Structure 1
Amino acid sequence: MRTDVDANGFPSHRRRVFGVLFGVVTMLTALCAGASTAAAAQPAPAGGAPGVVTVRMVDFRLEQPDWLPPGRYTFRAINAGGAVHALEISGPGVENARTPVVRSGGAADLTVTLAPGVYDFWCPVGNHRQMGMQLYVRVG
């Protein structure tokens, strides 16, 4: 019985099996990452409790989805940075909704209803917005 071998002396069918397994694992990883992002960005059912979206406020950026479907949301602003931060939102039907200032390690909630459009999310503390703590979020 003859077995084809590669340059390293391994049977060639092992290389093909490894390639297929690697492709499957890569695809599953991408699907799981997409599912967790989509789950975090689900709107609340009509008339129900608001959907919760985590916003990590880090020195000096906001980490959150940049696209959401229309709906009612509670943005849980978690200060994962060393400086004090806050979260402010403006856009269609939302004018300067804002959390209180949040100390490092703390959190505050802000509940708003988002209609289709573009919303501006930023940290209103000092010059944090100019330093990069600003994000446009598309809704719809």
Structure 2
Amino acid sequence: MLIKANENRSSGRKSSGTRRALLGVLLGVVVLVAAVCTGASAAASPAPTAHAGGGGPRLVVVNMVDFRLLQPAFLPPGLYTFRAVNNGQAPHALQIAGPGVTNARTPVVQAGQAADLTVALRPGVYDFWCPVGNHRQMGMQLDVYVG
């Protein structure tokens, strides 16, 4: 009986260890699936860009809504014209800062209007936000990764 009791305790520990290992594997799979889905959604919706004739800047439409910036979060390096379109009710603007870009900004754009901002982006992380009032704090901010 004593030997049998030890076997039960031993298999109990093995079962607990197996459960922990399975839980670790399951957690790893969930994280991997989440990462793949995030990457797939970014890949499924390519940056809405177009080259101007003659190799000019790429055009990226930035939809400014109350209170979000809708645009690609990943871009290749290059010269861009960001067309900031105000699809919200409140006035908005677009400001960009990052490697080699300091305080590039559109004028304030009223509802239904648009303004263009041309900047050269090199590899790095850029901060895009709305500088009007407290719009940035309300969620009108996006990190854009260039590389």
TM-score w.r.t. the length of structure 1 is 0.70
Matched, 1:38 2:38: no
Task: Report deviation, 1:83.
Answer: 0.2
Q: CA contact under 8 A between 2:47 and 2:72: conserved in structure 1?
A: no
1:2-17 alignment runs, 5 A limit: none
Partner in structure 2 of residue 88 of structure 1: 95
Partner in structure 1 of residue 72 of structure 2: 65
Partner in structure 2 of residue 27 of structure 1: none
CA distance in 2, matches of 1:86, 1:137: 17
Larger Rg over CA atoms: 2
Q: Give the AA of the match of 2:77.
A: P
CA distance in 1, matches of 2:55, 2:78: 10
Partner in structure 2 of residue 26 of structure 1: none
Q: What percentage of aligned pairs have identical amino acids?
A: 70
CA distance in 2, matches of 1:38, 1:84: 27
Q: How many residues align?
A: 106
Question: Do the aligned partners of residues 101 and 39 (structure 1) sit closer, same or farther apart at CA in structure 2, a change above 3 Å counting?
Answer: closer
CA distance in 2, matches of 1:39, 1:54: 9
Q: Give the AA of the match of 1:97.
A: A
Matched, 1:138 2:123: no
Q: For 1:119, what is the secondary structure of its paired residue?
A: strand
Q: Alignment partner for residue 124 of structure 1, among 103, 114, 131?
A: 131
CA distance in 1, matches of 2:47, 2:141: 23
Task: Indicate the RMSD between aligned Cα atoms, in angstroms.
Answer: 2.1
Question: Do the aligned partners of residues 96 and 39 (structure 1) sit closer, same or farther apart at CA in structure 2, a change above 3 Å counting?
Answer: closer
CA distance in 2, matches of 1:129, 1:107: 19
Runs of 4+ in structure 1 deviating by more than 4 angstroms, as ranges, are none
Matched, 1:54 2:61: yes
CA distance in 2, matches of 1:137, 1:110: 15
- Render the CA deviation track for 1:49-96: whole Å, top value 9, x for unaligned: 100000000000000000000000000000000000000000000001
Task: Report deviation, 1:40.
Answer: 1.8
Q: For 2:81, what is the secondary structure of its paired residue?
A: strand
